[in-house]
């Protein structure tokens, strides 16, 4: 199939009075940046970073008009090399996609070949976006904890922002692997949802955010996957057992980390930063293979909502209002 010249995309524009408006517009293939691989996008997904890009956060997207979408899964339409041929199913996430490069909320993307991952056996294109960057980041975090030596017998793992995209996939995978998972949520009615995913207990966010200023707290967790930062991350580190490990990937609560060095020098706690954007390709493929195989969790049900491009604007508003739960998969094109 030859790519049509014109396709649909969500375009965010900056108005003269400093507002950002989103609409589904027609774009031309010629508008896309130069690149090795032209991909017809079948599915994308909505991540926290897309919310920032779609609402005018210049730390994420410097110039508008812009098409967000840090995630995409689709079919190669044309390629100038790198082992990809028309018809190949691929995943393209992170790097600069959807930040300052037109992203997966458009029916076509054109990207450097180094950004392209072959769709692993065991995943459909839709499955891949059920995970998306959120699921990939959960996978990277769990890989860190496993590589650190944490086994299911070692004690409970705390996951914060648990009803969010990264959090809910992390809860599901850890539970599947046999870990006892404690889930932190700010939502008072989150327990049934999180227990269905496999959480053993749900901890209220207020309880998980100690502000007493004490340098160490009762050791409760063998490890943690933190997605929120701030007091919850600081409390988690202070409550981690000797030799435990904590991963930090997000800052929805705060970028601050009010803590001193005692958890590190008295309990040997390790703090690992998680950066999915610059994850090297061999490690990237390794995580995707795990997500498609031994770590594969159900990617449908209450935690997975599907919208078309026409439903994306509402989904952005839901995420902004913190009303969403789990993952939002975006059906970008039907064929």
Ligand X SMILES: NC(=O)c1ccc[n+]([C@@H]2O[C@H](COP(=O)([O-])OP(=O)(O)OC[C@H]3O[C@@H](n4cnc5c(N)ncnc54)[C@H](OP(=O)(O)O)[C@@H]3O)[C@@H](O)[C@H]2O)c1
* Binding residues for ligand X (CB under 6 A): 47-49, 133-134, 137, 161-167, 185-187, 190, 205, 227-228, 249-253, 274-277, 319, 322
Closest to ligand X by CB, 49 vs 110, is 49
> From the CB of 97, what's the least distance to ligand X, in Å?
13
CB of 316 to ligand X, least distance (A): 11
Among 94, 92, 226, smallest CA distance to 158 is for: 226
Take residue 243 and report the two structure tokens written for it: 């030799």
Which residue's CB comes closest to ligand X?
164
Q: How far is CA 325 from the centre of its chain?
A: 13
Minimum CB–partner distance for residue 48 and ligand X (Å): 4
Complex with ligand X: residue 102 or 208, whichever CB lies closer? 208
**Nearest approach, Cβ of 195 to ligand X (angstroms)?**
13
Comparison of 66 and 144: residue with beta carbon closer to ligand X: 144
Q: How far is the CB of 322 from ligand X (least distance, A)?
A: 5
Q: What tokens appear for 257 in the block?
A: 């980390």
Q: Which is nearer to ligand X, 49 or 267 (CB)?
A: 49
* Residue 184 CB, nearest approach to ligand X (Å): 6
244 contacts 225 by C-beta, under 8 angstroms: no
For ligand X, the closer CB: 18 or 273: 273
Q: In terms of CB distance, is 228 or 309 closer to ligand X?
A: 228
């Amino acid at each position: 199939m030859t790519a049509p010249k014109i396709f649909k995309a969500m375009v965010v524009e900056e108005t003269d009075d400093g507002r950002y408006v989103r609409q589904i517009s027609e774009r031309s293939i010629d508008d896309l940046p130069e690149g090795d691989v032209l991909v017809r996008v079948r599915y994308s997904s909505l991540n926290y970073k897309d919310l920032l890009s779609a609402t005018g956060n210049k730390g994420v997207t410097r110039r508008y008009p812009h098409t967000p979408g840090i995630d995409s899964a689709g079919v190669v339409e044309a390629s100038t090399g790198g082992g990809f041929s028309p018809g190949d199913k691929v995943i393209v996430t992170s790097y600069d996609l959807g930040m300052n490069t037109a992203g997966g909320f458009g029916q076509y993307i054109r990207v450097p070949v180094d950004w392209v991952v072959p769709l692993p056996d065991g995943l459909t294109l839709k499955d891949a976006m059920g995970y998306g960057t959120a699921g990939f980041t959960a996978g990277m975090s769990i890989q860190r904890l496993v590589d650190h030596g944490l086994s299911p017998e070692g004690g409970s793992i705390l996951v914060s922002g648990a009803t969010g995209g990264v959090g809910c996939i992390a809860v599901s995978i850890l539970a599947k692997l046999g870990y006892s998972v404690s889930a932190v949520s700010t939502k008072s009615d989150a327990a049934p949802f999180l227990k269905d995913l496999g959480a053993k207990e749900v901890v209220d966010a207020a309880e998980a955010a100690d502000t007493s200023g004490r340098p160490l707290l009762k050791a409760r967790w063998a490890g943690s996957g933190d997605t929120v930062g701030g007091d919850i991350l600081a409390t988690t580190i202070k409550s981690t057992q000797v030799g435990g490990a904590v991963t930090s990937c997000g800052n929805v609560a705060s970028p601050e980390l009010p803590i001193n060095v005692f958890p590190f020098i008295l309990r040997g706690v390790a703090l690992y930063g998680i950066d999915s954007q610059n994850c090297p390709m061999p490690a990237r493929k390794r995580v995707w293979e795990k997500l498609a195989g031994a770590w594969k969790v159900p990617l449908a049900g209450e935690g997975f909502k599907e919208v078309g491009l026409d439903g994306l604007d509402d989904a952005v508003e839901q995420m902004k209002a913190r009303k969403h739960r789990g993952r939002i998969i975006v059906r970008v094109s039907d064929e």
